[in-house]
Chain A
Amino acid sequence: MKVFKIILAALLVILALVITASALTTRGTLPTLLERMDPENLAAQDAAMQKAKDRVTTALAENNPERAQRSLDRYINGFSAQLTLSGRVGYDLFFFRNGPSMLALALFLVVAAAGLIAHALDRSGRVRKLVLPAILITVLYVGVYIVENIAGANSMLMTVLKKGAIYALLAVSMNLLNGFTGLFSLGQAGFMLIGAYTYAIFSIETQSRAQVYQYYAGGIIQFQLPALVSIALAGLAAALFAFLIGWPVLRLKSDYLAIATLGFAEIIRAIFQYDGLGPLTNGSNLLRKFTVFDTALFPFAVAGVCIALIALLIHSTYGRSFKAIRDDEVAAEAMGINLYAHKQMAFVISSFFAGVGGALLAMYQTTVQAAAFTSAMTYEILLIVVIGGMGSISGSVIASFLFVAASEWWLRFLDNETMLGSFRVPLLRSGFRMVVFSVVIMAVVLFYRKGIMGDRELSLGRFRRRLSHRRKGGAQDG
């Protein structure tokens, strides 16, 4: 068994090397590839074809790989009949066009091989537990990268993935408070707003500030911080506000807490649009021209790290006491848990990550305006938390991708008037999507009250146990 695993790992490494070599060798070889696609130089007889071919070479000479890629696509699509695209040429062409994806795939294969070797050599079993999660995480990120390269950064799929990742972080941070600590707070949009604004204010390009803050003499901040520093500041700003308002607000219970935090979010929204703060917040005008991300890997990485931190927290002794407070405040206090300190802790941490999520949302939208952070945004996040299951991190993550996909993509057709022949399908018109959406949500709340996951988590351990159970104690895993 051990030998088999090492051989398999070796094969994976060889495959990875082949892929890497192919991707790297085809990289700088486009001119020769162009010749090989057209061995008989048919382009010389066809002016249009020659023009298309030349466009590729010029773009290449100008060192503009994106344009080269686009020109190449056009050249191949337009003249596929004349070109030789099979065999070795096709292979090289494939690697040329999908070079980055293939490198990512090779990386994944190496990780998988490393995992296999660790699995085979590990005696204590400690590494073994980490192998599968590590491989799954690599699959996720490599997968996102490949999909982005194939589907294109602006495709609907990538929109859903980007927004889904951001909403996942927002939902998990809200779940930490509402689902795990049992504090029914509706201030999420307020903390997101603080995060989004803090991020935007600190990361607008210095030379664009005069233009962005045109009504406020260029604003008062005249420097630009790196994106990650601004994101951290966004979280800290939201956490600071939470700390300050937590002092009075966390002494309230259930509904009163919800009302107070909802009110806080509305007040924040008004304050950020206040003209007097214009040099900082640009009043009620847009903030724009700040650093944004150009690959979906960025929100996936930031949200992934944040969600992992929240999960670690929830499974620590502090997380256990949060859950104790949720289950029974009186008993929790009698067990020596300082109610106020722990509620404050949960509130501040949740707000920190809401702020980070707000910053990511700002990057995703590329502009920020306070007016957009309405309580409807809080309800959207709350909805995701409820659909996913109060007290389930994986539930929140799954639900946020489903929610974003449904609202941005799958239910879009409901908004468009559709003709079947000469028959106009009734009801389908702008806004109908939200009607259907509401009905779906009502159904979930009525018939599926615990949400997708309830308070359980997707767990590899349980999955594995169930598998081995089904195998009826067959061969021991070895």
Chain B
Amino acid sequence: MADAMLELSHVTMQFGGVVAVDNLSMHIDQDEIVALIGPNGAGKTTAFNCITGVYTPTSGQVFYRGELIVSNRPQGKMKTLYAGSHKDFPTQVVVNTPDRITKMGLARTFQNIRLFKTQTVFENVLIATHLHRTSNLFTATMRLNRQEERSFREHAMSMLEAVGLQDEKDELAVSLPYGKQRRLEIARALATRPRLLLLDEPAAGMNPQETDALGRFIVDIRSRFGLTVFLIEHHMDLVMDISDRIYVIDFGRQIAHGIPEQIQDNPDVITAYLGVDEE
């Protein structure tokens, strides 16, 4: 079997005494759309942050295309404080900063939109091409990189066209309506030329029509850019519609895994979302 696009192995993230992600293992194969769902506070975004290097997990490993990109074991006072359920710790310690992980080919969007506020729509996307530079400080300042600069601009423009924002390119990013800001964030992530796109609640705050359009859009960019998509989402219609597989977590722990049809009828999932009858 070829290496999975992304693989999490026994990832635990503990903040003080709170275990936000507990012994989470999952794998995402090439070209899949995989959803991570769970009630509020289940640890979905924390899992994302562990993958993208914002947090270093307390314990566990993350592989990207077979390469170990994150690996940690409880250290310092965490050795005694560790409260996760998995005790078989990896021996290696590998820490990567978010920028290095993005360079490897994982790009993400944020739950609470994080655009560059003082910049135009076009500039927002253009910044994401910076990591592909071959110019250094001197050649960039002296304008010896015209060709590269032109290709950056063309690439950024084609990303804007891909998400349909080419007409708003000179507007300030924050002046866009909410739905378009979401699409701009995706365009910006795409401009880093990722293989794996991580979307953190891309449909948050959207109405049903917009959500529907977003679903089609995600499926469309997957085939167009050869992407694998990993998303966190609360809109069940969207998740059931586009996902190939779904992981469900609650209190940091995986409670279900399977194709959408299996998840829909899973009693554990229903309990997690609706609560148990006290009777």
> Which of B99, B110, B149 is within 8 Å of A338, CB to CB?
B99
Let me know if B34 is at the binding interface, CB within 8 A. no
Using known A-B contacts A321-B127, A338-B97, determine if residue A331 contacts B102 with beta carbons closer than 8 Å: no
- Segment of A8-16, A80-88, A189-197, A309-317 in the binding face: A309-317
| A449-464 interface (Cβ within 8 A of B) | 455
Instruction: Establish whether residues A331 and B140, one from each chain, have CB atoms under 8 Å apart when the complex forms.
Output: no
Instruction: Establish whether residues A335 and B192, one from each chain, have CB atoms under 8 Å apart when the complex forms.
Output: yes
Q: Which residues of B contact A332 (CB under 8 A)?
A: 116, 127
Instruction: Establish whether residues B110 and A336, one from each chain, have CB atoms under 8 Å apart when the complex forms.
Output: no
Among B52, B115, B116, residue most surrounded by chain A Cβ atoms (within 10 Å): B116
Let me know if A232 is at the binding interface, CB within 8 A. no
Q: Mark B98-127, 1 if CB is under 8 A from A, else 0.
A: 111011000110100011111100010011
Using known A-B contacts A327-B116, A327-B117, A335-B131, determine if residue A320 contacts B126 with beta carbons closer than 8 Å: yes
Instruction: Establish whether residues B126 and A328, one from each chain, have CB atoms under 8 Å apart when the complex forms.
Output: no
Instruction: Establish whether residues A321 and B99, one from each chain, have CB atoms under 8 Å apart when the complex forms.
Output: no
**CB-nearest residue of chain B relative to A349?**
B137
Q: Which residues of A contact B143 (CB under 8 A)?
A: 312, 316
The CA-CA distance from A318 to B133 in the complex, in Å, is 10
Q: Which residues of A contact B152 (CB under 8 A)?
A: 317
Let me know if B2 is at the binding interface, CB within 8 A. no
Q: Which residues of A contact B149 (CB under 8 A)?
A: 317
Number of interface residues of B (CB under 8 A): 36
Let me know if A287 is at the binding interface, CB within 8 A. no
Using known A-B contacts A327-B116, A335-B188, determine if residue A317 contacts B130 with beta carbons closer than 8 Å: yes
Instruction: Establish whether residues A334 and B52, one from each chain, have CB atoms under 8 Å apart when the complex forms.
Output: yes
With A317-B126, A339-B97 given, name 14 new contacts (CB 8 A): A316-B141, A317-B135, A320-B123, A321-B127, A323-B123, A324-B127, A327-B117, A327-B118, A328-B114, A330-B110, A331-B115, A332-B116, A333-B97, A335-B128
Instruction: Establish whether residues A334 and B119, one from each chain, have CB atoms under 8 Å apart when the complex forms.
Output: no
| A342-374 interface (Cβ within 8 A of B) | 345, 349
Let me know if A388 is at the binding interface, CB within 8 A. no
Let me know if A337 is at the binding interface, CB within 8 A. yes
Instruction: Establish whether residues A323 and B119, one from each chain, have CB atoms under 8 Å apart when the complex forms.
Output: yes
Let me know if B129 is at the binding interface, CB within 8 A. yes
Q: How far is the CB of B223 from chain A (nearest CB, A)?
A: 24
Q: How far is the CB of B197 from chain A (nearest CB, A)?
A: 12
Q: How far is the CB of A332 from chain B (nearest CB, A)?
A: 7
Let me know if A218 is at the binding interface, CB within 8 A. no
Among A321, A327, A336, residue most surrounded by chain B Cβ atoms (within 10 Å): A336
Let me know if A219 is at the binding interface, CB within 8 A. no
> Which of A317, A330, A339, A455 is within 8 Å of B140, CB to CB?
A317
> Which of A309, A321, A334 is within 8 Å of B102, CB to CB?
A334
**CB-nearest residue of chain B relative to A326?**
B118
Q: How far is the CB of B134 from chain A (nearest CB, A)?
A: 11
Let me know if B206 is at the binding interface, CB within 8 A. no
Q: How far is the CB of B201 from chain A (nearest CB, A)?
A: 15
Instruction: Establish whether residues A328 and B133, one from each chain, have CB atoms under 8 Å apart when the complex forms.
Output: no
The CA-CA distance from A339 to B127 in the complex, in Å, is 13
Let me know if B276 is at the binding interface, CB within 8 A. no
**CB-nearest residue of chain A relative to B139?**
A316
Let me know if B54 is at the binding interface, CB within 8 A. yes
Let me know if A235 is at the binding interface, CB within 8 A. no
Let me know if A391 is at the binding interface, CB within 8 A. yes
Q: Which residues of A contact B192 (CB under 8 A)?
A: 335-336
Q: Which residues of A contact B115 (CB under 8 A)?
A: 327-328, 331
Q: Which residues of B contact A328 (CB under 8 A)?
A: 114-117
The CA-CA distance from A441 to B97 in the complex, in Å, is 42
Q: Which residues of B contact A330 (CB under 8 A)?
A: 54, 98, 110, 114
The CA-CA distance from A326 to B123 in the complex, in Å, is 14
Let me know if B274 is at the binding interface, CB within 8 A. no
**CB-nearest residue of chain A relative to B116?**
A327
Among B117, B130, B133, B135, residue most surrounded by chain A Cβ atoms (within 10 Å): B130
Instruction: Establish whether residues A336 and B131, one from each chain, have CB atoms under 8 Å apart when the complex forms.
Output: yes
Total cross-chain contacts (CB, 8 A): 101
Let me know if B236 is at the binding interface, CB within 8 A. no
**CB-nearest residue of chain A relative to B102?**
A336
Write the residues of chain B forming the contact surface with A, with a CB cutoff of 8 angstroms: 52, 54, 97-100, 102-103, 107-108, 110, 114-119, 123, 126-131, 133, 135, 137, 140-143, 145, 149, 152, 188, 192
9 contacts between A and B (CB under 8 A): A323-B116, A323-B119, A331-B115, A333-B97, A335-B99, A335-B131, A336-B128, A337-B131, A339-B99
Q: Which residues of B contact A334 (CB under 8 A)?
A: 52, 54, 98-99, 102, 107-108, 110, 114
Instruction: Establish whether residues B116 and A331, one from each chain, have CB atoms under 8 Å apart when the complex forms.
Output: yes
Q: How far is the CB of B127 from chain A (nearest CB, A)?
A: 5
Instruction: Establish whether residues B127 and A335, one from each chain, have CB atoms under 8 Å apart when the complex forms.
Output: yes
Q: Which residues of B contact A391 (CB under 8 A)?
A: 118
The CA-CA distance from A356 to B103 in the complex, in Å, is 36
**CB-nearest residue of chain A relative to B98?**
A333
| A230-282 interface (Cβ within 8 A of B) | none
Q: Which residues of A contact B128 (CB under 8 A)?
A: 335-336
The CA-CA distance from A339 to B131 in the complex, in Å, is 12
Q: Which residues of A contact B117 (CB under 8 A)?
A: 327-328
Instruction: Establish whether residues A318 and B137, one from each chain, have CB atoms under 8 Å apart when the complex forms.
Output: yes
> Which of A323, A324, A336, A349 is within 8 Å of B103, CB to CB?
A336
Instruction: Establish whether residues B99 and A336, one from each chain, have CB atoms under 8 Å apart when the complex forms.
Output: yes
Instruction: Establish whether residues B54 and A336, one from each chain, have CB atoms under 8 Å apart when the complex forms.
Output: no
The CA-CA distance from A339 to B54 in the complex, in Å, is 13
The CA-CA distance from A335 to B142 in the complex, in Å, is 24
Q: Which residues of A contact B107 (CB under 8 A)?
A: 334
Using known A-B contacts A327-B117, A328-B117, A331-B114, determine if residue A317 contacts B129 with beta carbons closer than 8 Å: yes
Q: How far is the CB of B205 from chain A (nearest CB, A)?
A: 18
The CA-CA distance from A333 to B131 in the complex, in Å, is 10
**CB-nearest residue of chain A relative to B127?**
A324
Q: Which residues of B contact A326 (CB under 8 A)?
A: 118
Q: Which residues of A contact B116 (CB under 8 A)?
A: 323-324, 327-328, 331-332
Q: Which residues of A contact B102 (CB under 8 A)?
A: 333-336
The CA-CA distance from A391 to B116 in the complex, in Å, is 14
The 7 closest A-B pairs by CB, nearest first: A336-B131, A331-B114, A327-B116, A336-B102, A316-B140, A333-B98, A324-B127
The CA-CA distance from A458 to B128 in the complex, in Å, is 27
The CA-CA distance from A114 to B64 in the complex, in Å, is 60
Q: How far is the CB of A176 from chain B (nearest CB, A)?
A: 12
Instruction: Establish whether residues A318 and B141, one from each chain, have CB atoms under 8 Å apart when the complex forms.
Output: yes
